[in-house]
């Protein structure tokens, strides 16, 4: 029971962090003469915000993060079904939630890596710095992995349906 609750709590916290990180605009901040902060959707300079111009890496990052959040939502539904001991054949809701959380983590890692690879030159050579929205998404990724581990351990410790458990 503790593994189910821990898995669900880590999934929920991960969802909150990834949504907050994705929807806010503090991924990059420039502390130099051209003071601004930007995210995946908008860039703000002196309280004037404009839409971020779409280019390859921004669109790819958005796509991978959105797909990751979609998988996370399905994983959370399955996390809730673990309390009802839901099974489809030999596949428990815990195993399915672990798989979906793992896939969500992989897609989030890919999206974050694309963004990091395309902005790291500016961070290393200019006055740009990654900020809290960026780090929230990396923290959410860690929680997704932990949640997947909790759900997998729950699957390992629960008896399989069938005559053996009677």
Q: What is the pLDDT of residues 63-96, one digit of tens each?
A: 999 999 999 999 999 999 988 888 787 788 999 9
pLDDT of residue 162: 57
Query: Of the candidates 142, 151, 150, 143, which has an alpha carbon nearest to the alpha carbon of residue 96?
Result: 151
Buried b (16+ CB within 10 A) or exposed e, 104-124: bbbbbbbbbebbbeebeeeee
CA distances from 32 to 37, 50, 105 (A): 11, 19, 34
What digits encode the pLDDT tens for the residues 97-109? 999 999 999 999 9
Which tokens is 4 given? Answer: 């189910």
| Percent of the chain whose pLDDT exceeds 70 | 95
135: exposed, middle or buried (C-beta count within 10 Å: 0-12, 13-18, 19+)? middle
- Record the pTM: 0.88
User: Using 50, 70 and 90 to split pLDDT, how confident is the model at 164?
Assistant: low
In this structure, what DSSP letter does residue 82 have? Answer: G
Environment class of 89 (CB within 10 Å of its CB; exposed 0-12, middle 13-18, buried 19+): exposed
CA dist 22 and 16 (Å) reads: 10
pLDDT digits (tens, 9 = 90+) for 38-47: 999 999 998 8
**What would the pLDDT profile of 121-137 be if each residue is shown by its tens digit?**
877 777 789 999 999 99
User: What is the structure's pLDDT at 124?
Assistant: 74
Tell me: the pLDDT tens digits for 6-63?
999 999 999 999 999 999 999 999 887 778 889 999 999 988 999 988 889 999 999 9
**CA 166 to CA 33: how far, in whole Å?**
71
CA distance 67 to 48: 30
Whether the per-residue pLDDT at 142 is higher than 90: the answer is yes
Q: From residue 72, give the alpha-carbon distance in Å to each of 39, 45, 67.
A: 21, 33, 9
Q: What is the mean pLDDT of residues 147-165?
A: 79
């Amino acid at each position: 029971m503790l593994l189910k609750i821990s898995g669900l709590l880590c999934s929920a916290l991960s969802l909150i962090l990834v949504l907050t990180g994705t929807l806010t605009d503090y991924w990059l901040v420039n502390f130099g003469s051209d003071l601004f902060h930007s995210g995946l959707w908008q860039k703000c300079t002196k309280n004037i915000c404009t839409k971020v111009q779409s280019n390859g890496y921004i669109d790819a990052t958005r796509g991978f993060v959105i797909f990751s959040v979609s998988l996370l939502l399905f994983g959370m539904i399955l996390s809730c079904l673990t309390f009802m001991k839901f099974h489809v054949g030999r596949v428990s809701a815990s195993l399915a939630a672990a798989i979906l959380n793992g896939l969500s983590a992989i897609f989030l890692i890919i999206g974050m890596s694309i963004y990091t690879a395309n902005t790291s030159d500016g961070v290393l050579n200019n006055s740009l710095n990654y900020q809290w929205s960026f780090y929230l998404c990396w923290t959410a990724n860690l929680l997704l992995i932990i949640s997947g581990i909790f759900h997998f351990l729950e699957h390992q410790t629960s008896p399989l349906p069938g005559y053996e458990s009677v």
